[in-house]
Amino acid sequence: MKAGKELTYTELYHLLRNTLSGRESGQWLKENDVNLWVNSFHSVSTLDEDIIFHSSTYDVFFDPEAAKKYNENFNYPVFVPDSDKARKECIILLHGLNERNWNKYLPWAYTLAKQTGKSVILFPIAYHMDRSPEQWKDPRKMLPYVKKRRMELPNVNMSTVVNVALSERLTAQPERLFFSGYQAAGDVMKLMDSITSGDHTLFEKGTTIDFFSYSIGTFLTQIMMLGNPGNRFDNSKFLFFCGGSAFDDMYGVSRYILDSEAYVTLKDYYSNTFENDLNKNSGWKQVFNSTAIGDSFRAMLSMRSLRHYRSGLFSKFRDRLMTITLRQDKVIIPGKAKNVLSGTRIEEMDFNYAYTHENPFPVSDIPSLRNEVNSAFESFIGKVVPFFV
């Protein structure tokens, strides 16, 4: 495709889905005044998993050496447009739960970078994307575990090769939801510090940092906003997409996210067992009682805890926060997000085609559907870009 041609969402998806490994799309980006940089990152968890977790289930999903290898040292991509803003302003894009590749986000990130002039960083949450063993996203290698899980749990629904790794880990150790999120929050703040201090190779000292957060990425962002360690989030803008509700109001049963057993285990643990475990474990108590992230995580577990924490707690961000919900979203119900984000700008969108939380802009070969999706994406971006500029 020639430089300068304005591409539709569908065309962008097909072009960019191989960007991280393909030369053709990388050359196209340069011709259109956008560079793709891949940066390395080293994560240092402050938590000792050997103390936190007591499990004899060290198989393909729990091997500590494999987890350390992939989760602690990884790469993340950055779209850098040829603009005056690119080295001074950036947007960190945070993805959804159980994501294993960046494909669906690449058109989002490219379009944001191109139209805002800001660099867009696609940053992976702990144990997601390139931070997990390759076999977790290999259908052939995961199929035996799906069969085993269905035999051991005959009532399980939605167990698939896509979600079995995360479902196994969280069913066995639901505590991991917090502790992997805690590590991810630390990683994000480490990244922010390297950017604002001028230590990052792509950015000048004092670069401003905004957030585009989707699904569970929104939940993580909300926790960091409320805790606000070191006042890092005082000047950031926040765009939430398909997110915003308290944890207790999320419905995660999906062939792409969690199976029913993992979902029920998580809900039961954080509703009924979590606080008791805190009282029994002195190490946990220290994390939750002495850190801003631990405290705000507890606040975001339910509307009850949010109201106890402080009513209207997100209203102080009203000038820097915008949320876009989708009417047919079954994972993050729009009304539940509105309960948490009252006093802030919230817009509900709906599209003239069948979409899901996991796939709001489905790629299709059917011309009529393709046109509808392209139009919906343009409408969505038309709301997002003005917010950031």
Q: At 45, which CATH number?
A: 3.40.50
Between vectors from CA 140 to CA 58 and to CA 150, what angle results, nearest 5°? 65
What pLDDT, on a 0 to 100 scale, did the predictor assign at position 251?
96
What pLDDT, on a 0 to 100 scale, did the predictor assign at position 56?
44
What pLDDT, on a 0 to 100 scale, did the predictor assign at position 152?
95
CA–chain centroid gap for 76, Å, is 13
Q: Taking the complete model, does pTM exceed 0.85, yes or no?
A: yes
Look up residue 318 and give its two tokens.
């009203």
Domain contains 175: no
Using CA atoms in the order 368, 371, 376, 381, what is the torsion angle rounded to 10 degrees? 170
Domain contains 151: no
Contacts of 381 (CB under 8 A, 6+ apart): 111, 112, 115
Long-range contacts from 351-358, C-beta under 8 angstroms, 24+ separation:
351/326, 351/376, 352/376, 355/326, 355/328, 356/328, 356/329, 356/330, 357/215, 357/242, 357/254, 357/326, 357/329, 357/330, 357/331, 357/332, 358/96, 358/254, 358/256, 358/257, 358/331
What pLDDT, on a 0 to 100 scale, did the predictor assign at position 308?
73
* 308: containing domain: 9-137+201-250+273-388
Domain contains 161: no
Q: Are 181 and 45 in contact (CB under 8 A)?
A: no
Alpha carbons 246 and 368: distance in angstroms, whole number: 37
Q: Locate all alpha helices (DSSP H) within 291-366, ordered by sequence.
A: 292-299, 303-309, 334-340
What pLDDT, on a 0 to 100 scale, did the predictor assign at position 47?
60
Domain contains 124: yes
Could you report the per-residue pLDDT of 222-247, keeping only the tens digit for each?
Answer: 999 999 999 999 999 999 999 999 99
Q: Which amino acid is at 252?
A: G
Identify the three-state secondary structure at position 322.
strand
Q: Give the number of domains in the chain.
A: 1
Helix (H) or strand (E) holding 188: helix 176-196
Which phi and psi (to 5°) does residue 383 adopt?
-90, -35
What pLDDT, on a 0 to 100 scale, did the predictor assign at position 70?
85
CA–chain centroid gap for 383, Å, is 20
Q: Are 95 and 2 in contact (CB under 8 A)?
A: no
What pLDDT, on a 0 to 100 scale, did the predictor assign at position 306?
80
Q: Are 74 and 119 in contact (CB under 8 A)?
A: no
Domain contains 267: no
Domain contains 120: yes
Q: Are 101 and 134 in contact (CB under 8 A)?
A: no
Alpha carbons 30 and 36: distance in angstroms, whole number: 8
Domain contains 294: yes
Low-confidence ranges of the chain (pLDDT < 70): 1-5, 20-24, 46-67, 281-283, 285, 289-290, 310-311
